[in-house]
Amino acid sequence: MLDRSYVVPWGKRGSMSAGAEAAVLTELTHDSTRLPTGSRREGFERSFAETVGSRHAISVTSGTVALQLAVRLLDLAPGDEVITTPQTHRATVQPLSDHDVHVRFCDIDPATLNIDPAALEGLITPRTKALLLVHYGGCPAEMDTIMALARRHGVVVLEDCAHALGARYRGRSPGSLADLATFSLRNAKNGTMPGEGGLITCDRDDWAERLRLLRTADRGTRTVRTGPARPGVLPWTPYDGPLHRGSVRRPGSDATMPEAVAALGQAQLTGLWAAVGRRRALAGRLDEVLTRYPFITPQSAPAHSEHAYHLYTCFAERQELRDLLVLALDRRGVEIQLRYFPQHLLPQWRHRGHLRGECPVAERSWFDRHVNLPCHPLLTPSQEDYLVEALDESLAELNGGTPAPLAVSATACGRK
């Protein structure tokens, strides 16, 4: 199955709007001498912050690194508690395992797959330091209720917005709805680099300054020139004299986004809204098919939000139907992926005492109900048509071979 080619593939590398990026690549090749020291990174960070509506954006090499640095910024101490979601990519939760903290997984809302505010309230204790949430698939979490709870208990909220570039919640962008946020620009995300990239957004000046320090490298022992080159003797030796301004003072990482990647990121921001628009249009067509079959439901975003459709998700009534749907679509050449295995059941978290039954809604969704369909702007119009037809045919097959009649449109039903 791995090397099979699909009529409708899950995703393609990158979502470049070729013209703009090609021009940037040409410009970069003519300007390569200035690449390490140029000003493109700062320009991209300013544009990104503006797009999201935050005061600062700090660019790094990936979403994983963005999460690692954001979690480091929280200065978590032994005994602190952090609440997070089980329904996410492992990179969301993984940085917490570098700290001696107690992680509590909060169950999710079955309709959105985001943290359920009702379940959250019961998990907050006087030791709760932070909440790390995700906007699953680009569907905004219910931030008003979540932030009100967090403020009441003095809990810092970190949004993982890896899926949420282009989403809206009450007219604002995820990434500006809490204290701190991270983004991923890896291939197949809503804004994608030819490779990888990540950003951290926040409003606090002191946090932005610290994050800029955390992302830069001190490259260890310096070398100094000790004399003219002589045959067989290297003119360089490690420097072990007193430290001066600018010399090594702290261990660091080397996580700064390369200039070339930032330049491409800037070009891609221009095409962001068109790409998100294509995702939404396809999602609307898929919704329309689903509304005709009673045993399958699309993910529903909060009424006052706009979904960014990094992932298109739907739910079957029960496991047998879900599995049959996956097989029927796969047989028709539609590549299906199921995202994500509940994090608390991964070996690294089971090892710390987390068990099946801890988040029953997340477990039922993954094991019995949810399916993700391909939904990205690099599908051609004929691939999109094929996907819509294949979905209809597959559901009809599950419906005893009877295609459901065309009913009221999904939009008319108020679904997003």
Q: Per CB under 6 A, does 62 bind ligand PLP? A: yes
Instruction: CB nearer to ligand PLP: give 162 or 321.
Output: 162
Instruction: CB nearer to ligand PLP: give 66 or 296.
Output: 66
The pair of three-digit structure tokens given for residue 46, joined into one six-digit string: 């300013």
Q: Of residues 64-83, which lie at the interface with ligand PLP (CB under 6 A)? A: 64
364 burial class (0-12, 13-18, 19+ CB within 10 angstroms)? middle
242 burial class (0-12, 13-18, 19+ CB within 10 angstroms)? exposed
Instruction: CB nearer to ligand PLP: give 160 or 363.
Output: 160
Instruction: CB nearer to ligand PLP: give 104 or 339.
Output: 339
Identify the DSSP state of 233: B
Query: Given the rule CB under 6 A, which of 56-64, 165-173, 318-326, 341-349 is the region that contacts ligand PLP?
Result: 56-64
Query: Given the rule CB under 6 A, which of 159-167, 202-210, 353-361, 377-385 is the region that contacts ligand PLP?
Result: 159-167
x/- track of binding to ligand PLP for residues 164-203 (CB under 6 A): --------------------x-x---------x-x-----
Identify the DSSP state of 106: P
Residues paired with residue 315 on neighbouring β-strands, in sequence order: 297, 370
Q: Which of 21, 142, 160, 288 binds ligand PLP (CB under 6 A)?
A: 160
| Distance separating alpha carbons of residues 351 and 369, to the nearest angstrom | 26
Q: Per CB under 6 A, does 91 bind ligand PLP? A: yes
Could you tell me the CA-to-CA distances from 206 to 53, 171, 183, 211, 346 in Å, in that order? Answer: 18, 27, 20, 9, 35
Q: Look at residues 305, 293, 283 and name the one whose alpha carbon lies nearest to residue 372.
A: 283
| Distance separating alpha carbons of residues 146 and 156, to the nearest angstrom | 11
Nearest-10 crossing angle of helices 18-30, 259-270: 150
Instruction: CB nearer to ligand PLP: give 116 or 160.
Output: 160
Q: Per CB under 6 A, does 57 bind ligand PLP? A: no
Q: Which of 54, 59, 92, 372 binds ligand PLP (CB under 6 A)?
A: 92
> Which positions lie near ligand PLP, rule CB under 6 A?
62-64, 88-89, 91-92, 134, 160, 162-163, 184, 186, 196, 198
